[in-house]
Chains A and B, each alone.
Chain A
């Protein structure tokens, strides 16, 4: 099988994109609701916990250099137990793409084009992510080299323009910490950061394997810092009560930004950034999912599986009947409470223990 190569810097940037894609949308409102002024602590705590989880995954990867989880799970557990694990990682990857497709499409529909049905967004994005996955990891990483900085600069530009209307005491950290709130606020960003399980699927592509750990941890912590800064800025602009009332408070800031009473409604700028960052994540997960399934089936070419995703992804995206079902069942319960913890912590933990017992290190 043709192995593609990316640099450690590209891996760091990909991890930042993957971690920020969902957490920037879903995170601030939920974190602020629970943690109020201590939202920054929740974001950083989530990043630290995710980094600890990633170290577990990295430890496992080090036991099987040059192999993906779909390959070493079969070696470690045998084909009967190993293949289902490869299938599971494919399933989780495709499921997360489906959920993300639905979420970002719904967001575009809600904020910009309320009368357009969902299917054009879902089908259009599906074509985009499958095409990107078809082109491979190197192409996705190169696209992300452009997309991530441009999106973040656009977001920072918009936030700085809005800053004069903020109130410092809304966003300043406080001494009176609400510890239960901080812990509750950690769950959503931690679950979003858990998508970094995909290093189990793409680690062999790193051109310098010795830098894998540094690159991954750097990506997670940087994403945590960016999320903390964005969340605290949302507080600074909107206060805790209003910020937690909206699904996506950053979009409200963009919508209400008013420059000289001439320029208003900057939400397409923010949305374009999110859309492209999410496209990177979806492409990467589609690639990783297709690759994992291919390796599980002991095939050489992942592209036919990526083509099959053209059917699977829209089906997954159309499953939820409405926003409430999507957020509470498909995202929060299935993805955040079941699929991601198993993929990010439980399976790697079990495999690491077995690897240690079998002395695979």
Chain B
């Protein structure tokens, strides 16, 4: 008898999980968030733009995808969380965060300070921390009006753009939400964040903030935004962003054009294929001394001669030519990084390379002494920049195309 009772109770217990768990929600009940935009509106409230898309099948189903894939829902509130919840006043589905691709922060909110507004996102375990963060010049609204032509799927579009930019151009500092949180939390480093704009595909130009978005348009990365603490304080051009990435050792590949060693009026494009950088900093007396050591590996990508048909007298692969080519790049990168750092010290007062972070982690007792006045220390820091370039090869053509007999005379 007892055995039967136990078996009955066991079966009863086994039936409990059959009803499913508390968190069971079917996919069609969710609104899949792809992008989120944050900005301030008049009155000091936060405006949240939630860009949702219908779930698409990863395999062909024979059914055409919906014509419009991006649907934007906006709401305002005293806090970001309140605004997000208010979206549900007219959005009949539950917002689903784990597939968040990008967070776009408007200029107004960024200038006021972002950390307190991002608290809701950092605190929520469902928000995808690997999402990309961007700053929009002006309001982020225009970004969500984009009608992309090449890649229609918003879920993959931004990821493709970021990967293409960082794999082939390297002129914008793309950053993930988790790394942005890290840099905001760390008193020894100021964040640099990619700037997201809109490209007019008809006029072939970058649209200014607030412009009407044409029917054919694309996302475009346009340099980087500089923060001091959690406040936006300025902008870096794409070239300056490139020097920043080189100084951080984060440039995977990119192209830098330098004067040609044979004739400064000619140009040589160096394709960067490898980049490492090291930072050392320490406190000496009442001054911080730092050294940035940058190593670049590159190939000769192309050459442009002012006089068409100009050829080299000597077509041999001369190590000296490679060295000179490297020197040209060293000079350009050194000047660019020094100029960037000078601007960060005098104009932005932003420790973009993280000298403070280095001192804080390597010399914690020294950091305790100087952390309260770190901004002044950084502004007066003596930073040396050392660049070493190694040109590996000129791809498949000889670096100096030989002058053929009977050909044009060299112009120089």
Contact = CB atoms under 8 A, between A and B. Distances in A.
B129 A245 contact: no
Which one of B98, B128, B159 has the greatest number of beta carbons of chain A within 10 Å?
Answer: B128
A256 B122 CA distance: 12
B125 A117 contact: no
A115 B98 contact: no
Contacts, number: 64
B346 to A, nearest CB: 27
Interface in B10-30: 21-23
B361 A170 contact: yes
Given A114-B125, A256-B130, A261-B159, A241 B364 contact: no
B18 to A, nearest CB: 14
Contacts of A115: 22-23
A176 B357 CA distance: 15
Given A169-B358, A176-B366, A238 B22 contact: no
A83 interface: no
A272 to B, nearest CB: 16
Contacts of B182: 238-239, 241-242
Nearest to A176: B365
Interface in A265-308: 265
B396 to A, nearest CB: 31
B125 A110 contact: yes
B186 interface: yes
A177 B363 CA distance: 9
B361 A239 contact: yes
B363 A116 contact: no
B152 interface: no
B113 interface: no
Contacts of A110: 125
B181 interface: yes
A178 interface: yes
Contacts of B125: 110-111, 114, 255
Contacts of B159: 261
B187 interface: yes
B178 A256 contact: yes
B185 interface: yes
A264 B128 contact: yes
Which one of A111, A114, A256, A258 has the greatest number of beta carbons of chain B within 10 Å?
Answer: A256
A29 to B, nearest CB: 13
A241 B186 contact: yes
A105 interface: no
Interface string A246-263: 000000100110100100
A240 interface: yes
B351 to A, nearest CB: 14
Contacts of B216: none
A102 interface: no
Interface in B356-393: 357-358, 361-366
Contacts of B186: 239, 241-242
B22 A116 contact: yes
Interface residues of B, number: 24
Interface residues of A, number: 29
A49 B130 CA distance: 40
Given A37-B361, A176-B365, A245-B185, A113 B129 contact: no
Contacts of B21: 113, 116
Interface string A164-177: 00000110101010
B186 to A, nearest CB: 5
A59 B168 CA distance: 68
A117 B22 contact: yes
A326 to B, nearest CB: 19
Contact of A169 (B23, B181, B185, B362): B362
A36 interface: yes
A242 B364 CA distance: 16
B185 A37 contact: no
B187 A256 contact: no
Contact of A242 (B126, B185, B358, B362): B185
A255 B129 contact: yes
Which one of B128, B185, B361, B363 has the greatest number of beta carbons of chain A within 10 Å?
Answer: B361
Interface in A16-61: 36-37
B180 to A, nearest CB: 11
B361 A169 contact: yes
A37 B367 CA distance: 13
A252 B23 CA distance: 21
A25 to B, nearest CB: 15
A349 B173 CA distance: 60
Contacts of A245: 185
A265 B97 CA distance: 13
A283 to B, nearest CB: 19
B23 A113 contact: yes
Interface in A110-167: 110-111, 113-117, 120
B363 A176 contact: yes
Q: Sorted from nearest, which 8 A-B pairs have the closest CB atoms?
A: A116-B22, A176-B365, A241-B185, A256-B178, A256-B129, A258-B130, A242-B185, A241-B186
Interface of A: 36-37, 110-111, 113-117, 120, 169-170, 172, 174, 176, 178, 238-242, 245, 252, 255-256, 258, 261, 264-265
Given A178-B365, A240-B361, A252-B129, 14 more contacts: A110-B125, A113-B21, A114-B125, A114-B126, A116-B21, A116-B22, A169-B358, A170-B361, A174-B362, A239-B361, A242-B185, A255-B129, A256-B178, A261-B130
19 contacts: A37-B361, A114-B125, A114-B126, A115-B23, A116-B23, A170-B361, A174-B363, A176-B363, A176-B364, A178-B365, A239-B182, A239-B185, A241-B185, A242-B181, A242-B185, A252-B178, A255-B129, A256-B130, A261-B159
